[in-house]
Structure 1
Amino acid sequence: MFFAVAFAVPWLGWTLLDHAALSLWLFPLFVSLAGFAAAWAEGGRAGLAALCRRTLRLRGTLRWILAAALIPPTLGAGYLLIQGIPLNALRPAFDIGLATTLAAAIVTGPLAEEFGWRGYLQPALLQRLSPLATALLIAAAWSLWHVPLFGAAVFGSVESSLRYVGYLAVWSVFLVYLVERGGGSVWPAVALHWAANVHANVLGALFPSVDGSLLPGGSKGLGTYLIVTAAFVAVHWRFFAHRDAAMPVAAEAAAPGPTRQAER
């Protein structure tokens, strides 16, 4: 059910309707709605309640939310420094336009999608796969989901398609780690997804003298991002390589609601 709802409605909408507002604000919501629908279909009211309890939890997640929000701009700033942008180019220049962009970006991707990708699908895959395999598989599905939205602009060649898959794989690797460390809470995923979508805008405001074509995002900076991500996986290899590393959260997601309540 998850894939049917998450893909069918947005794909039909993006293919049949040429409506910018619906494409941005409505159709992506069906990924999160698919997560809730699948939880209901598989576990009834108890399954839906369990998904909500796990994904909405805030206790003990603040440091993971903060880390998630800082990862994309930190990677982006590192890329700019590697490209030779001097630190004295740092001259913050924020305006109301940026504030509007940052606020809108919380909804259009993170809240609209993450209750599906990381709230429902990730723990379901972790029951069978290692965290690394789970992250890469979600990155592939996540990329495929964007095909009708971005079309030839991103998926016009094999090379550009693979670059986009690699870009989403970077975030998926960090997301599986942060969400599991946060006990299955979706808020670290929302924070990182948001930061990934806007980090080029933020860096542009922090370094206003830098040509916009040099700012990271998509394929720009991908080599740097992949190297850092590979190093992160190597440092946390025990977590990423073994299926049981994330089993507590995955098991909680799979267990029937009444059983979990009785155990508590």
Structure 2
Amino acid sequence: MNIRRRSAVLCGVRRHPLLAYFALSYTVTWLAWLPYILSRNGIGALPFRVPDVLGSSQTLGILPGAYLGPVLAAFVVTAVADGRAGLRRWAARLVRWRVSVRWYLAVLFAVPAVCVLATLPLGVLPRVPSLGVLAAYLPLLVLQFLTTGVAEEPGWRDFAQPRLQARYGPLAGSLILGPLWGAWHLPLFLTEWAGWPDVDWAMAAEFIGGAVLLSVVMTWVFNRTGESLPLIMLFHANVNTVFSLLWAEMFPSLDAFADSLHALAIGAGAAAVILVVTTRGRLGAPARPAT
């Protein structure tokens, strides 16, 4: 790349950091996911299977792309657009652990409670989970925190959310971020992650809708905790842990993927409506100074 072209690219990133972030995050992640999608774990265009590690092919098939995309894009765009000062602000939110213990307790216990209550409208009563599942819950939660939480949230919530919120407000910013966050997962519907080839594309639409509703809730948590990324990562990890372990044990007659999307949409939707109404759309964001 010659100097003039490089200068034009850097100038474009500085002028449009959000566009640059989303473009880079999508491109890097989707390219990294391509072998998994084309393998026999996906559409079967390539004659190999991604081996299971830690009990799942997703460890090697999905995690590298998930790590590379949002985190790398957030780091690169922040460095170009905001320099060292921006990187310090970005990194400071990543280690903002000092939040009232009540928030940690709320995330740990309210998330499973809401997910279970949101499943009741599907007409099935929960079973008591086994001791083995309860014993596995905390280790899986830690693993989800270190994988899904660390891979995604430094990008979506640490980089994109503050910029969207500053530009469009907390509610509109969440409604913009939600579909982009959800659509980033779309190639995975061509893999066993979503049960390919038995995939109903209405599920993909519902998944994106659930991501929008969940983004509204996560924006409120983000703002009320002083932009604490560890708490947001714990929230995201706990949602995944509930639906990947606890929920299937408590509702064995329901479809582990399709019906869990219904439950997520019901729970996140109810929470989002309550928060939008009670906060008048501010979602915990500081009031803007009067002009």
TM over 0.5: yes
Corresponding residue SS for 1:28: helix
Whole-angstrom distance in 2 between the partners of 1:154 and 1:163: 15
Aligned pair count reads 241
> Judging changes above 3 Å, is the alpha-carbon distance between structure 1 residues 219 and 179 closer, same or farther for their aligned structure 2 residues?
same
- The amino acid across from 1:50 in the alignment is R
Tell me the distance in 2 between the aligned counterparts of 1:159 and 1:189.
Answer: 28
Matches within 5 A, 1:81-100: 81-82=120-121, 83-85=123-125, 89-95=127-133, 98=137, 100=139
In structure 2, the residue matched to 1:213 is: 254
Q: Is the 8 A contact 1:117 1:138 kept in 2?
A: yes
Select 1:76's aligned residue among 103, 107, 115. Answer: 115
**One of 67, 72, 88 as aligned partner of 1:49:** 88
1:175 aligns with 2:214: no
Give the structure, 1 or 2, with the largest relative contact order (CA under 8 Å, sep 6 or more).
Answer: 1
SS in 2 for 1:58: coil
Deviation of 1:2 (Å): 1.7
CA-CA distance at 1:34 after TM superposition = 1.7
How far apart in 1 are the matches of 2:153 and 2:167? 20
Aligned residues of 2:118 and 2:264 also touching (Cα < 8 A): yes
Structure having the higher Rg:
2
Distance 1:25 1:159, change over 3 A: closer
Q: CA offsets, 1:152-178, max 9 Å, x none?
A: 848966632321112112221111111
Residue from 126, 142, 151 that aligns with 2:181: 142
- Structure 2, unmatched stretches of 5+, are 1-19, 40-49, 51-56
Give the structure 2 partner of residue 109 of structure 1.
148
| Deviation at residue 237 of structure 1 after TM alignment | 1.6
Partner of 1:13: 32
Query: Match of 1:24?
Result: 62
- Pick closer, same or farther for the CA change 1:214–1:85 going to 2, 3 Å: farther
Match of 2:12 in 1: none
Match of 1:159 in 2: 202
Would you say 1:239 and 2:282 are equivalent positions? yes
Q: Distance in 1 between matches of 2:215 and 2:169?
A: 13
Q: Is the 8 A contact 2:119 2:263 kept in 1?
A: no
Q: 1:91 to 1:150 in 2, by over 3 A?
A: closer
Deviation at 1:196, TM superposition (A): 1.1
Q: Helix, strand or coil: the match of 1:184?
A: coil
Which has the higher mean CA deviation after the structures are superposed, 40-49 or 212-221? 212-221
* Residue 68 of structure 1, CA deviation: 3.0
- Aligned partners of 1:233, 1:172: CA distance in 2, in Å? 12
Deviation, 1:120, is 0.6
Contact 2:165 2:174 in 1 (8 A): no
- Say if 1:64 and 1:181, in contact at 8 Å, map to a contact too: no
Partner residue, 1:202:
246
Shift in Å, 1:115? 0.5
For residue 12 of structure 1, report the CA deviation from its aligned partner.
0.7
Go from structure 1 to structure 2 and tell me whether the alpha carbon gap of 1:93 and 1:43 turns closer, same or farther (over 3 Å shift).
same
Runs of 4+ in 1 over 6 A off after TM superposition: none
1:192, distance to aligned residue in structure 2 (A): 1.1
Whole-Å separation in 1 of the counterparts to 2:60 and 2:140: 17
Structure 1 residues 225, 179: closer, same or farther in 2, change over 3 A? Answer: closer
